[in-house]
Structure 1
Amino acid sequence: MIVVTTPTGQIGQQVLDNIFDSTEAVRVIVRDPSRLSPRMRERVEVVQGSHDDIAVVTKAFEDADSVLWLVPPNPQAENPMNYYINFTQPACEAIKNQGVKRVIGVSSLGYNFGTPAGLLTPAFAMDDLIENSGVNYRSLRMPFFMENLLHQVNAIKSQGMIFMANAGDHKLATCATRDIADVATKLLLDNTWTGQESVSVIGPDDLSPIDMARIISQVLELPVRYQQIPSTDYKATMMQYGMSEAWAQGLIDMAAAQDQGIYNNESHTAQRTPTSFIQWCEEVLKPAILA
């Protein structure tokens, strides 16, 4: 039995598509089952609810061999660290009580960075909690998600701009969620691995935001420029959109850690995944902009 959390999210949905034709029994935890496609609802067993609920995860983890664990973002959370810990603790209890064999968690590169890293730091705390449960664990550790740029579609279309809090000339390791889903799928379908290790999931391109804008321009055949937003302005804008002050500050601190090289040590030695940034722009970003 494979259990998938956040099955309607970017990673979870792609994992479900990947394992659809496998012979494994699949169970999902989802708040609103209607968000699953009719095809998927016929394929999977559904446990309705939130996976921060001990009753829900206890039911969902019964007879589970492998679990894909993601903490969904909550931009309204007043304390991101407490949010991650409180979300993960019930799962750790259920993992032990139900005898789950293997867990694959979605985390971040930079575990050994050594200083606070905004919204990345709670992900590292999540890793520690799951490892302390004693379960066989693979922490998938990623850098900058290419899909973050899907939030910039309107700005690209209306202004020919992308906006971030990061320094324009600092190169970031990048990855596509399709590659994360592929790595997670292989681990979910493999019942032979044991122990606790991290798995770096890093795409072939290290790019600065200026580089990203240049490649987007090339793909769209339209001029697109990058503009760094001062941290105070960026934080104020995020709060205007309903984000809590703590979550907005977490984004600022994460960008600062990225500029300080939080991804560098692991990205220089890791095996690279296949999806290039230009390929992702052609196949994902461009259709989103043209839609």
Structure 2
Amino acid sequence: MHIILGATGHVGSALAQALLERSEPVTVVTRDAHKAEALRTKGAHVAQVDVFDTHALHQVFRGGKRVFVLNPPAPPSSDTVAEEHRSVRAIVSALEGCKLEKIVAESAYGAQPGEGIGDLSVLYDLEQALAAGPVPFSALRAAYYMSNWDTALETARKEGKVHSMFPADFTLPMVAPHDLGQYAAKLMLGPAESSGPHHVEGPERYSPGDVARAFSEALGKPVEVVETPREQLEQAFGKLGFSDAAAKSYAAMARATMDQHYEPASKPVRGTISLRDYIGRLVNKTSG
């Protein structure tokens, strides 16, 4: 049995569907069983459990052989780093004593030790905790999610604008959640041995300018990038409803991404879905 955390999100659902298509037994873990109904109809078992309920989560893990760990993002109105460290501790605690064959965890490009860099350090700490355990472990380091641009559709459609925390010409690795799910399935089904980290990105690298051009093509109208000045990142996140702590954290991650130019030590895995295709499908899905 494959146990999947975060199965109602972009990546987790793509992984669950990839495994179900291979007739693999899957249990999806979610706080809201209604959100997993589509996966249930495809044959998945659904466990309605909050990750902070360590005992209940431990019982679910005990019923599986392989586990996919995705640390749930904290509400942006909270102190996201504190909350996400708390969920990491809860998940790692729930895994203790489980006789598993393998653990695969979703991480991020640039995951690293440190303070004040948000998810980059939270996910590094998750990697380290799982690698220190007795179960074979693989880290899947994902590039910047193309789905992070989903919220730009509204302003692109209504105003012809894509708001970006990065400069218009700043190129970075991006990846479609579907491609992440497909590679995660490969890891889940692979040998019960530690490996990685495995870096996954799209067919090529893209900039916010490329995002605007993709929306322009899909919508059939001009779309431009509106850059947020570097010194105004905290204020910009605050206007989106982020707490002061979360705004500071996300701004630090954006600056680290721009400044560090992180490159994988080994050749990354390339997905098949281009940014143009991803945004074209997004627009088509929401049309009419």
> Is the pair's TM-score, using the shorter chain for normalization, greater than 0.5?
yes
Asked if 1:280 corresponds to 2:288, the answer is no
Query: 1:196 Cα shift?
Result: 4.0
Q: How many residues align?
A: 288
Q: Write the letter of the residue equivalent to 2:167.
A: A
Cα deviation digits, residues 58-82 of structure 1 (max 9, x gap) = 1110132111111121134644333
Q: Write the letter of the residue equivalent to 1:222.
A: K
Cα deviation digits, residues 175-194 of structure 1 (max 9, x gap) = 1000000011122233x230
Query: 1:212 Cα shift?
Result: 2.1
Provide the C-alpha distance between the structure 2 equivalents of 1:132 and 1:161, rounded to a whole number of angstroms: 46
Match of 1:269 in 2: 267
Gaps of 5+ in 1: none
SS class of match (2:197) = strand
SS class of match (1:14) = helix
Gaps of 5+ in 2: none
Match of 2:20 in 1: 20
Query: 1:39 Cα shift?
Result: 5.9
- Which 10-residue stretch deviates more, 266-275 or 84-93? 266-275
Provide the C-alpha distance between the structure 1 equivalents of 2:113 and 2:31, rounded to a whole number of angstroms: 35
SS class of match (1:97) = coil
Asked if 1:149 corresponds to 2:146, the answer is no
Asked if 1:174 corresponds to 2:174, the answer is yes
Distance 1:32 1:289, change over 3 A: closer
Distance 1:223 1:22, change over 3 A: same
Distance 1:128 1:262, change over 3 A: farther
Match of 1:202 in 2: 201
Q: Write the letter of the residue equivalent to 2:249.
A: G
Cα deviation digits, residues 219-278 of structure 1 (max 9, x gap) = 332111011113564433433443211112222111111211443x21883232211111
Q: Write the letter of the residue equivalent to 1:107.
A: S
Distance 1:46 1:158, change over 3 A: same
Asked if the contact 2:70–2:105 (Cα under 8 Å) also holds between the matched residues in 1, the reply is yes
Provide the C-alpha distance between the structure 1 equivalents of 2:286 and 2:233, rounded to a whole number of angstroms: 23
Asked if the contact 2:113–2:120 (Cα under 8 Å) also holds between the matched residues in 1, the reply is no
Alignment of 1:212-231 (within 5 A): 212-231=211-230
Match of 2:119 in 1: 119
Asked if 1:101 corresponds to 2:101, the answer is yes
Asked if the contact 2:101–2:136 (Cα under 8 Å) also holds between the matched residues in 1, the reply is yes
Asked if the contact 2:108–2:140 (Cα under 8 Å) also holds between the matched residues in 1, the reply is yes
SS class of match (2:256) = helix
Provide the C-alpha distance between the structure 1 equivalents of 2:46 and 2:55, rounded to a whole number of angstroms: 14
- Which 10-residue stretch deviates more, 222-231 or 68-77? 68-77
Asked if the contact 2:65–2:101 (Cα under 8 Å) also holds between the matched residues in 1, the reply is yes
Provide the C-alpha distance between the structure 2 equivalents of 1:84 and 1:229, rounded to a whole number of angstroms: 26
Distance 1:235 1:114, change over 3 A: closer
Q: Write the letter of the residue equivalent to 1:276.
A: S
- RMSD over aligned Cα, in angstroms? 2.4
Match of 2:185 in 1: 185
Query: 1:280 Cα shift?
Result: 1.3
Query: 1:114 Cα shift?
Result: 7.3
Alignment of 1:74-85 (within 5 A): 74-76=74-76, 78-85=78-85
Query: 1:210 Cα shift?
Result: 1.6
Asked if 1:4 corresponds to 2:1, the answer is no
Provide the C-alpha distance between the structure 2 equivalents of 1:5 and 1:24, rounded to a whole number of angstroms: 16
Query: 1:139 Cα shift?
Result: 0.9
Provide the C-alpha distance between the structure 2 equivalents of 1:240 and 1:256, rounded to a whole number of angstroms: 18
Query: 1:38 Cα shift?
Result: 5.4
Q: Write the letter of the residue equivalent to 2:279.
A: C
Provide the C-alpha distance between the structure 2 equivalents of 1:7 and 1:18, rounded to a whole number of angstroms: 12
Distance 1:42 1:270, change over 3 A: closer
Asked if the contact 1:68–1:104 (Cα under 8 Å) also holds between the matched residues in 2, the reply is yes
Query: 1:20 Cα shift?
Result: 1.9
Provide the C-alpha distance between the structure 1 equivalents of 2:21 and 2:169, rounded to a whole number of angstroms: 43
Query: 1:96 Cα shift?
Result: 2.8
Distance 1:21 1:268, change over 3 A: closer
Asked if the contact 2:139–2:196 (Cα under 8 Å) also holds between the matched residues in 1, the reply is yes
Query: 1:92 Cα shift?
Result: 1.9
Asked if the contact 1:79–1:246 (Cα under 8 Å) also holds between the matched residues in 2, the reply is yes
Provide the C-alpha distance between the structure 1 equivalents of 2:187 and 2:192, rounded to a whole number of angstroms: 8
SS class of match (1:227) = strand
